[in-house]
Amino acid sequence: MSLLQIKDLKVHFPIKRGVLIDRTVGHVRAVDGVSLSVEEGQTYGLVGESGCGKTTLGRAVLRLNPVTEGEVWFGGRDLAGLDAESMRRERKNLQMVFQDPLGSLNPRQNIGSILMEGLQTHGIGDGDDRRQVQQDRHKRVVEALERVGLSDRALKRYPHEFSGGQRQRIGIARALVLRPDLIICDEPVSALDVSIQAQVLNLLEELQDELGLTYLVIAHDLAVVRHVSDVVGVMYLGSLVEEASSDDIYATPLHPYTRTLMSAVPVPDPSVEDTRERILLAGDLPSPADPPAGCRFHTRCPWRQKERCDTERPELRPLRDAASGSTHRVACHYAEEILSGQIQPSEERAERIVTGGAADGGGGPGH
């Protein structure tokens, strides 16, 4: 049984217009029917570009955004159906790490008070009287701090006195202190310097090994997501287009969007950069308020076919003739044909497709 199971989740934000009385003139379909499940002790990585709804999805799980439709099963309960107070209590089991390490810490609270707040809110702490409870809480806070590589001397200091990486450690400690079952990491490293990113990623992995945590990692960087995750889900315009194990998604990306995304991620290795295929998409992300009919990606897809793509919305399905037990799922009508090479990307639909090798002069500039 999965720890977290999301079934057909939809989050639509109303667009309101009007001078005196607000009229709803449409909906932004930020998340439009996503189903996924996160296994205990594993990391599920959600990757996608800005505007694909990945952050909204993460927040909707915690009900920080209203859920329009769908179910969020966590520990045998449907979070989407809970009343506000039960949801509030439930939050001690699901925690979140935010993107902006400074912005997510109250500048007027010292670290001790930031870490203590969750414990106080949920009345956590063992002891017979106030003093003992207080001591127990202090112990838990220091423990969490030490887990992330800080010492109790941080308690009396304020967020702005720390460096970016340390702040993010504090953010992680805040999530840890409640001993949650699931931590949702929303772009945990994208605001950090490269060398600090790696420290934080390593820390997240260490913590998972030591404490058996389950993560839902949300990020725009495919390399980061692939590095930390067991299962990777790729989102495009509010829906999941592909889901596979971290190895499979790299070895055999099936969905055209995953392929383009993969080909766009720069690799710090000149030999790879010079030889690999680059597929450049034409155009921009369509507006989530008015998503294209059929496959959401068909407006930019270099593999687009005349039939089905613009009329029928593909479901997330396992590959036909796949081995049983395969967890690779894709939302494309023609995944098999694309995989076998029957359908080739059309140069007309992409801005440009640069095939690997130096034959076409794509082997780097200045040669």
Partner 1 sequence: MGTNAPLLAVEELSVAFGGRGPAPVKAVDGVSFSLEEGKVTGLVGESGCGKSVTSLALMGLLPDRGVEVGGRALMQLPKGPEDLLVLPQRRMRDLRGSQLAMIFQDPLSSLNPVVPIGRQVTEILKRHRGMRGEPARKEAADLLHRVGIPDPTRRLSEYPHQLSGGMRQRALIAMAVACRPRLMIADEPTTALDVTIQAQILELLRDLVTEEGTAMLMITHDLGVVAGLCDDINVLYAGRAVEHAPRAPLFTEPTHPYTVGLLGSIPRLNAPRGEPLTPVRGSVNDDIAWTDGCAFAPRCDHYTMDCLQGPPSLVERDSDPGHVHRCVNPIGHAEVVDRAVLDSPAVVGEEEDR
Partner 2 sequence: MPTSPSSPTPLHKRKAEKVDRLAELMGSRTDEGRASGIWIDAFRRMRTNPMAITGAVIVVVFVAVALFSPLIAHYSPTSQAWGDEVFPNRNEFVGPRAENWLGLDHLGRDLYSRFIIGARQTLLVGVVATLVGFCFGALLGGLAGACAVLGGRWGRRVDNVIMRVIDMMLALPTLLLAVTVAALVGPSLTTVMLAVGIAQIPIFARLLRGAMLAQGNREYVLAAQSMGVRRHKIALTHILPNSMGPVIVQSTLTLATAIIDAAALSYLGLGNPDASFPEWGTMLAEAQRFLSTAPALAVYPALGIIITALGFTLLGESLREALDPKLRK
Q: Compute the least distance from the CB of residue 125 to partner 1, in Å.
A: 26
Q: Which is nearer to partner 2, 118 or 291 (CB)?
A: 118
Q: Compute the least distance from the CB of residue 80 to partner 2, in Å.
A: 16
Q: Provide CB contacts within 8 A for 120, sequence distance 6+.
A: 137
Q: Is 192 in the site for partner 2 (CB under 8 A)?
A: no
Q: Compute the least distance from the CB of residue 271 to partner 1, in Å.
A: 8
DSSP state of 35: E
163 binds, among partner 1, partner 2, none (CB under 5 to 8 A by kind): partner 1
Q: Which stretch binds partner 2 (CB under 8 A): 4-12, 58-66, 258-266, 308-316?
A: 58-66
DSSP state of 117: H
Q: Is 140 in the site for partner 2 (CB under 8 A)?
A: no
Among positions 269-298, residues that touch partner 2 (CB under 8 A) are none
Instruction: Name the pairing type of β-strands 231-236 and 23-38.
Output: unpaired
Q: Compute the least distance from the CB of residue 245 to partner 2, in Å.
A: 29
3-state SS, residue 317? strand
Structure tokens at 362: 């794509």
Q: Which is nearer to partner 1, 78 or 269 (CB)?
A: 269
One residue of 100, 205, 221, 274 binding partner 2 per CB under 8 A: 100
337 binds, among partner 2, partner 1, none (CB under 5 to 8 A by kind): none
Structure tokens at 167: 């702040």
Are 89 and 122 within 8 A, CB to CB? Answer: yes
Instruction: Looking at the chain, list the stretches that DSSP marks H as alpha helix, in order from N- to C-terminal side.
Output: 54-61, 84-90, 111-121, 130-147, 164-176, 194-211, 222-228, 246-251, 256-264, 270-275, 335-340
**Binding pattern to partner 2, positions 201-240, x when CB under 8 A?**
----------------------------------------
Structure tokens at 28: 């932004």
Q: Which is nearer to partner 1, 125 or 362 (CB)?
A: 362
Q: Beta strands of the chain (E only): which ranges?
A: 4-17, 23-38, 43-47, 69-74, 77-78, 94-97, 182-186, 214-219, 231-236, 239-245, 278-280, 317-318, 329-330, 352-354
The footprint of partner 1 (CB under 8 A) covers 49-50, 149-151, 153-154, 163-166, 169, 193-199, 201-202, 220-224, 226-228, 246-247, 250, 260-274, 278, 280-285, 351-352, 354, 361, 364-366
Q: Which is nearer to partner 1, 72 or 231 (CB)?
A: 231
- Cα 339–Cα 345–Cα 351 angle in degrees, nearest 5: 140
224 binds, among partner 1, partner 2, none (CB under 5 to 8 A by kind): partner 1
169 binds, among partner 1, partner 2, none (CB under 5 to 8 A by kind): partner 1
**Binding pattern to partner 2, positions 16-35, x when CB under 8 A?**
--------------------
305 binds, among partner 2, partner 1, none (CB under 5 to 8 A by kind): none
Q: Is 153 in the site for partner 2 (CB under 8 A)?
A: no
CB-CB neighbours of 330 under 10 Å: 29
Q: Which is nearer to partner 2, 66 or 357 (CB)?
A: 66
Instruction: Name the pairing type of β-strands 43-47 and 214-219.
Output: parallel
CA gap 4, 90 in Å, rounded: 13
The number of angstroms, rounded, from the C-alpha of 61 to the middle of its chain's C-alpha atoms is 12
CB-CB neighbours of 362 under 10 Å: 18
Q: What is the CA radius of gyration of the chain?
A: 23
Phi and psi at 69, nearest 5°, equal -160, 155
Q: Which residues contribute to the site for partner 2 (CB under 8 A)?
A: 59, 62, 64, 88-92, 94-96, 98-100, 103-109, 117-118, 121-122, 158, 160-161, 171, 174, 178
